[in-house]
A = this chain, B = another copy of it.
Amino acid sequence: MTVLNVDPSPCRKRVKKYVKNACSVKTVKKRLPIIEWLPKYKSEYIIQDIIAGITVGLTAIPQGIAYALIAGLPPEHGLYASLTSGVVYVFFGSCYNVTVGPTAILAAMTARYVSNYSIDFAILAAFLSGVMILVMGVLHLGFLVEFISMPVISGFTTAAALQIAASQLKSLFGTSGSSGNYFSESVYNFAINIKTVKLWEPVLGFSTVGMLLLLRKMGQGCNRTDGIIKQTRWFMSLSRNAIVVIIGMIITYILKVTWDTEPLAIIGDIGSGLPEFTWPPFSTTVRNETLSFTDMLSVLGPGSIALPLVAILESVAIAKAFAEGGRIDATQEMIALGLCNIIGSFGQSMPITGSFTRTALNHVSGVVTPAGGVTKVLLIIVALTYLTSTFYYIPKASLAGLIITAMFSMIDYKILGRLWRNSKRELVVLSITMIVCLFSGLEYGMIAGIIIEAVVLLYNVSRPTVTPNVIKTEKGDIMIVPLTESVSYCAAEHVRKAVLKAASFISDTVIIIDGTNLNNMDFTVASNLMLVVKDLEKKSKLILLLNFNLYLKNLCVDIDPSSHNKFVYAENVLDLPEAFPKSV
């Protein structure tokens, strides 16, 4: 039997490796993955990629329009976002089944700036988020999202779903008044306008919801590789978003043509044609006032940190879900995502990230390479060029139903029960995050959650378990104070007090501070420990430091040279009293 150590390559080696790698052909291929997969492309992939592209495209178009409306933008900006990011991701994306584009959460986080200021803020937010994501990717700072715990993510997501759903109440019920920036505001605005509820809007809206649920159910148990009937059910189920919107559109069109009435609110004019390629707005005019770049930055405020964080978070979650234990090049994904946003902002795109629903769709549709995105892009180009006059008739109530249905699936109900049963503390964190999100805005809730978790974590680190044991031997009592693997500066005082308290319990003992497990302590801890040794010696107790490693011993001796004879080494603490007879 041999024991073999597998892992850790030391830091210096990694740096060398990194520098060496940065200039190799392999790195160029890594950074521009299309060079890698395109030459290996096989003709049999085409059909599968096209099918996947069509299903994704048929969802991307209604979702793009819907999410633009969530953000308060003209519908074409959602399509622009899917278009440019789709093109960029074909070149830079490393995960074949990930689809990028506008998402409901990013749209909701952008909405406030658009409704309070102007469209320009959504485009600038895309540019800035892109820059942040790119920089974080290059500097390998993606790990920062690991500081967002699952309760915080869950509270945030639930709040986002509720906020988005609440913002659609107006369209779903056809009420008048404005919709509101937060959940609480939207609900309040809906409540005070409740008397203006129309008849046909909720009928269409709820029918849409019902239809979507039916269509989803219809596809269950069906597969891409089944017979023709099941295959049709499967395809209809996957294209359900497009289907309900087309049905809504047809109904409004017929009403218009046959009775010349427009009883339903429709989305109206959509800017036709491809987006112009121009600089993102680095200054803007809002209500006759010119805002400079720094003014705009201060308006975006915490959003300029929260948006890229959420974008990374969403794409990391997707990569984790679809990698199935395989390795993901997180750096490359962040670079791709950053470039999608930056280049997108030149094409008037709203902020984008990986889309969970469309990636899942891509996956079940059997996509093989990132080329699947090409079909999606072509579909969107067709839509923008020829179909905008048709889209004119899309009823807002259909989109509201579509959005609200999507929000159902975003809420994770199970986590509430699990936390209730296992960790009420984390349930509190989830609740606080959610409440702040609902009442002050999503970005503040997320930041509050991160801070609360970090503070709790720091507090826990500052209170390591120190459980002194007394061993009664024939020669007298020994008190053993075992230290944990790592003791940080903030735990120094806690450890000091614990040792002094332990020492005060029984007089006339040998006290052994057991550093067998201790790997790491900083200067503050070492200084405090030397203080304890001195204080206890004044009370004429014999104090010994057991099995401290050489580095830690040197640190202590450097602080207090007289401590050098306190360090003892033994496999079993019971061997000690023989070696160090009680001299006190």
A residues near B, CB below 8 A? 1-8, 143, 146-147, 149-151, 320, 324-325, 327, 415, 418-419, 421-423, 426, 453-454, 457-458, 460-462, 465-473, 479, 484-486, 488-494, 498, 500-502, 504-505, 519, 522-524, 527, 531-532, 535-536, 538-539, 551, 554-555, 558-559, 574
A498 touches B7 (CB 8 A): yes
Pick the residue among B8, B146, B470 that contacts A493 (CB under 8 A): B146
A469 touches B555 (CB 8 A): no
Contacts A418-B558, A505-B6 given; does A473 touch B149 at CB 8 Å:
no
The chain B residue with its CB closest to the CB of A555 is B422
CB-defined contacts of A493 to chain B, threshold 8 Å: 143, 146
A426 touches B522 (CB 8 A): yes
A7 touches B325 (CB 8 A): no
CB-defined contacts of A324 to chain B, threshold 8 Å: 535, 538
CB-defined contacts of A519 to chain B, threshold 8 Å: 465
A458 touches B458 (CB 8 A): yes
A488 touches B150 (CB 8 A): no
CB-defined contacts of A8 to chain B, threshold 8 Å: 467
A485 touches B484 (CB 8 A): yes
CB-defined contacts of A458 to chain B, threshold 8 Å: 147, 454, 457-458
Contacts A320-B531, A422-B558, A490-B457 given; does A523 touch B325 at CB 8 Å:
no
Q: With the chains together, A546 CA to B364 CA distance in Å?
A: 36
Contacts A468-B6, A485-B484, A498-B7 given; does A522 touch B462 at CB 8 Å:
no
A7 touches B467 (CB 8 A): yes
The chain B residue with its CB closest to the CB of A524 is B150
B5 touches A467 (CB 8 A): yes
CB-defined contacts of A457 to chain B, threshold 8 Å: 458, 461, 488-490
Q: With the chains together, A457 CA to B538 CA distance in Å?
A: 33
Q: How far in angstroms is the closest Cβ of chain B from A471?
A: 6
Q: How far in angstroms is the closest Cβ of chain B from A209?
A: 30
Q: With the chains together, A65 CA to B362 CA distance in Å?
A: 77
The chain B residue with its CB closest to the CB of A453 is B489
Q: How far in angstroms is the closest Cβ of chain B from A517?
A: 8
Pick the residue among B7, B146, B501 that contacts A502 (CB under 8 A): B7
CB-defined contacts of A3 to chain B, threshold 8 Å: 469-471
Q: How far in angstroms is the closest Cβ of chain B from A316?
A: 9
A486 touches B460 (CB 8 A): yes
Pick the residue among B2, B454, B471, B522 that contacts A472 (CB under 8 A): B2
CB-defined contacts of A419 to chain B, threshold 8 Å: 523
B488 touches A485 (CB 8 A): no
Q: How far in angstroms is the closest Cβ of chain B from A155?
A: 12
- Given A4-B472, A150-B523, A324-B538, 14 more pairs with CB closer than 8 A: A4-B470, A6-B469, A7-B498, A147-B489, A149-B489, A149-B490, A149-B522, A149-B524, A151-B524, A325-B538, A421-B554, A453-B489, A484-B485, A485-B485
**Nearest 4 interchain pairs by C-beta:** A325-B535, A149-B489, A150-B524, A422-B555
A558 touches B421 (CB 8 A): yes
Pick the residue among B146, B151, B467, B500 that contacts A523 (CB under 8 A): B151
The chain B residue with its CB closest to the CB of A532 is B325
Q: How far in angstroms is the closest Cβ of chain B from A394?
A: 39
Q: With the chains together, A151 CA to B143 CA distance in Å?
A: 27
Contacts A522-B149, A538-B324 given; does A7 touch B466 at CB 8 Å:
yes
CB-defined contacts of A150 to chain B, threshold 8 Å: 489, 523-524, 527
CB-defined contacts of A467 to chain B, threshold 8 Å: 5-8
Pick the residue among B146, B147, B462, B555 that contacts A147 (CB under 8 A): B462
Contacts A458-B454, A473-B1, A493-B143 given; does A555 touch B423 at CB 8 Å:
yes
The chain B residue with its CB closest to the CB of A492 is B146
Q: With the chains together, A162 CA to B6 CA distance in Å?
A: 50
CB-defined contacts of A2 to chain B, threshold 8 Å: 471-472
CB-defined contacts of A551 to chain B, threshold 8 Å: 422
Q: With the chains together, A467 CA to B5 CA distance in Å?
A: 7
Contacts A146-B493, A493-B143, A555-B423 given; does A7 touch B468 at CB 8 Å:
yes
Counting chain B CB atoms within 10 Å of each CB, the highest count among A460, A501, A522 belongs to: A522
Contacts A6-B468, A535-B324 given; does A426 touch B473 at CB 8 Å:
no
The chain B residue with its CB closest to the CB of A558 is B418
Q: How far in angstroms is the closest Cβ of chain B from A4?
A: 5
CB-defined contacts of A320 to chain B, threshold 8 Å: 531
